[in-house]
Amino acid sequence: MGGVSAAAGSGAEAVFLNPATLSRIAAEAPSEVALGYDALLESAYSGSAAYARPLGRDGAFAAGLLYASQGAQTSYNAIGDATGKFTPTDLALGAWYARRLIGPLSLAGGLKIIRSAIDDRSGTTAAVDFGLLAKQVAELGDGPLDLGFSVQNIGPPLKLGSSSDPLPARIRAGGLWRVAPTLDAGLDVNIPVDHDPYASLGVEGRLPASRMGSTKPWVIAIRGGYDQNRTRGVDGFTGFSAGAGFDFSALRLDYAWVPFGDLGTTNRITIAFRF
């Protein structure tokens, strides 16, 4: 859906974008484990694991791991001679809690430990995330509108050797319009600390089994989106994305195709288990 997530998240992995979406987990809902893998450009890749479960009547808890790396890189000394190989890695481990408050409002917060390693240098820091979700704040036509807001990666800089870099803090705000029972449309505005603001939008259409004459509780979803940020400095077909999802009650599978113009294409897949 073009990265739309301020109000649109619903699975365990959505905690990485707006932890307040955890409040969509009902008190009687099962726990969920979601595993994700992104085949990025060239040899880069990333992975994720998230666990979410209801906690009491109005709360939900999640823990998650993010990992990013790429193929082995060649290291050089000061005069340009190759000295060996190394694999850069980035890792973040966190826990979040969301709680439904009075009315449609939910509040969430979390803490992450972040570690980065490049060759023989590594550094560790911590960051906090905050999120808000307001469900059904208005009616647009026949469908309700949800609003979401999140602030991510607020913490001290990450230091590697003698160099220090600020964390990629980000503010995200947006809405999810449930146009019809089987059609959603979303819009986000993103304000990253290290880039200009940008917008993303997306749609999701769902086809439940009952529409095809089946009594089984499965759903097929088709998604499309546009991310303004991916069009900056990239030639060719980019900015758009497309994907599909299959939800079989106890098992969920999602796939996204994300082109980056002349640079290539990325593929993202998530599989989730409910128990």
Q: For the chain, what are the domain ranges? A: 12-70+83-201
Per residue in 60-101, pLDDT tens? 999 999 999 988 888 888 888 888 888 899 999 999 999 999
pLDDT at 205: 97
pLDDT at 142: 86
- Per-residue pLDDT in tens (0 to 9) along the chain, 275 residues: 999 999 998 889 999 999 999 999 999 999 999 999 999 998 999 999 999 999 999 999 999 999 999 888 888 888 888 888 888 999 999 999 999 998 899 999 999 999 999 888 899 999 999 999 999 999 998 899 999 999 999 999 999 888 888 999 999 999 999 999 999 999 999 999 988 999 999 999 999 887 777 777 899 999 999 999 999 888 999 999 999 999 998 999 999 999 999 999 999 999 999 99
Closest CA to 167 of 88, 72, 73, 90: 90
Q: Under a CB-based contact definition with an 8 Å cutoff, are residues 199 and 231 in contact?
A: no
Q: Under a CB-based contact definition with an 8 Å cutoff, are residues 268 and 255 in contact?
A: yes
Find tokens 């000061």 and name the residue. Answer: 78
Distance, CA of 163 to CA of 34 (rounded, Å):
35
Closest CA to 244 of 212, 263, 267: 267
Per this entry, what is the length of the chain?
275
Amino acid at 100: R
Instruction: Tell me the DSSP string of the chain.
Output: -TT--TTT--SGGGGGT-GGGGGGS-TTPPPEEEEEEEE-STT-EEEEEEEEEEETTTEEEEEEEEEEE-S-EEEE-TTS-EEEEE--EEEEEEEEEEEE-STTEEEEEEEEEEEEEETTEEEEEEEEEEEEEEEEEEEETTEEEEEEEEEEEESPPEEETTEEE----EEEEEEEEEEETTEEEEEEEEEETTS--EEEEEEEEEEEGGGGT--S--EEEEEEEEEGGGGTT--SSBSEEEEEEEE-SSEEEEEEEEEBGGG-EEEEEEEEEE-
pLDDT at 244: 97
pLDDT at 124: 96
pLDDT at 160: 87
Q: Which neighbouring-strand residues pair with 258? A: 266
pLDDT at 78: 84
